Homo-oligomer: A and B are copies of this chain.
């Protein structure tokens, strides 16, 4: 089996903790005993991409070219398809697709498809500010005819602060509890499914923290990537 699997190219670094988490989950979810049973994954932990947040506020250069160059570099290094461990950076999906000839699996599309399968009335979203400003989940949910619930402005400010703390390495109890409170708020607003639509979120939020279904954009793309690569999921 192992010889015929595809090589995953992972655009990362936005942030590094989410990239590590994505890689960790790929290893944990792949059915494997020996080294060679695992998938080949080429990762560009590219922390030098211009700030997505600054650009989305009109305060800096576009990250698009740097992200596209990462994608191309991964393809040249042997990746058979490309994924990206950052929801927000999917605002530059067109740049990526223009730079490569191999497939790109969209975290946004796969996550919304996974949410749609549960046929919820309303989907709650935990996402970073620049991701919301880029309307990535809003557009994808509209296409999938899913009703989206966002946090009120003050809670969204807290969400962004928590994401920043996770990016700086703080995954302690306070951050965990505060993120769970935000998820509960989305439930109170009628969400039947909550999408962890930022790869920092599932680092601290688990299914046990909410009563409704939690869909982790990381887990969705990890599983899809393993299957697309031709390996099996660990039971």
Contact = CB atoms under 8 A, between A and B. Distances in A.
Contact of A16 (B35, B48, B168): B35
A6 B28 CA distance: 30
A34 to B, nearest CB: 7
A160 to B, nearest CB: 13
A45 B48 contact: no
Given A27-B16, A76-B76, A168-B34, A45 B43 contact: yes
Contact of A36 (B17, B35, B42, B48): B48
A92 interface: no
Copy number in this complex? Answer: 2
Contacts of A13: 35, 38, 40
Contacts of A78: 44, 73
Contacts of A15: 35, 38
A35 B20 contact: no
Interface in A1-50: 2-3, 13-17, 20, 23-24, 27-28, 32-49
Given A13-B38, A17-B27, A48 B167 contact: no
Nearest to A3: B48
A20 B16 contact: no
